[in-house]
Amino acid sequence: MTSDFQPEKAIVRAFHAELATATPDTVGGILASHVASDWHWRGMHPFHEQHGARAVATAFWEPLLGAMTRLQRRPDIFMAGLNEIDGFKGSWVVQMGHLMGLFDRPFLGIRPTGRIVMLRFVEFNRIEDGRIAETAMFVDLPHLMIQAGQDPFPPQTGAHLVQPGPMTHAGLMYDMQDPAEGHATLAAINAMLNNPFSSVDGVDEETRLKRVWHDDMIWWGPAGIGASYTISRYIKQHCEPFDDALHDGYRFNGHLCRMAEGQFGGFFGWANLTIQNAGGYLGMTAGPGPSEMRVVDLYRAQDGKLAENWIFIDILHYLALQGLDVLGRMASITEY
């Protein structure tokens, strides 16, 4: 397997550099000059799946650039690798960080503040024949709503923060990395995925997690859930509320991409999980039927275990499948 992803990284960096100059009027042309004609783009609710540069510009970039003045990209992680899910054939480049701008005009019914906002994002790009052929773009819209003073959720079990990048400040891997380190990181991620979180042999959950996580792990959860620090607080502030409310009809659907480079790696699915809300989670009553969660996990590994985990969950999609249109409610308030 190749360990030289510099050409793929250069393609994405050139794309991001030109996108930084985009306006609502020019962004469609900029996208078209970097992506394949049949570009498959996946975005969180309400953007969902789009095909081709014009559709993506209309659905996502034009409204965002129209709402945010002087939008800038502030990455914390940049990495590339081969996709384990397709037998290490597809080359993917991943970036995570914040899109920062002045929130000057309404966006998806969210009322502007005229102040700085930091929109958490993670972007997976598959490169093929010198172009971006496939993208998953996750943004934390509830995080934006909270910054704008329009929190749609009851109090979080974890902490709400504008999340920092890796503690080591080593996430921007513009140069080649040692392939052995990437293999070790992917092995640590797979060990976590294969480690049961529920007690099946009399071993408690905290002991199980310590097999694959450092004790002082940091779980950077999405808005609506929040961040947790240490295994014990992660169990109390995320695992227990999640398991108590979402145990019915739980099904893991798999991932579309899972890769690693250096100390960092991650995956996304579409949708990763099918679940049934038994009541109470994120303030919802019991769901009338199954819902689903589209999830991104990025990790930092250290000494064979996982030390940090950044999570993106399409919570608005999860709620919409249960009959709660959060953005529609915001829009109606704005119009009123």
The CATH number of the domain holding residue 229 is 3.10.450.50
Residue 172 included in any domain: no
**d(Cα 213, Cα 228) in Å, to the nearest integer?**
13
Q: Is residue 171 part of a domain?
A: no
Check whether residue 231 and residue 323 sit in a common domain.
yes
Residues 200 and 127 in one domain: no
Same domain, 12 and 96: yes
Q: Is residue 217 domain-shared with residue 275, that is, in the same domain?
A: yes
Task: List per-residue pLDDT tens for the chain, 336 residues long.
Answer: 567 999 999 999 999 999 999 999 999 999 999 999 999 999 999 999 999 999 999 999 999 999 999 999 999 999 999 999 999 999 999 999 999 999 999 999 999 999 999 999 999 999 999 999 999 999 999 999 999 999 888 888 888 888 999 999 999 999 999 999 999 999 999 999 998 665 556 678 899 999 999 999 999 999 999 999 999 999 999 988 888 887 777 889 999 999 999 999 999 999 999 988 888 788 778 877 888 999 999 999 999 999 999 999 999 999 998 888 999 887 776 554
Single residue among 147, 164, 195 that ends a domain in this structure: 147
Domain of 189 in residue numbering reads as 179-335
Last residue of a domain, one of 91, 125, 147: 147
The structural domain count of the chain equals 2
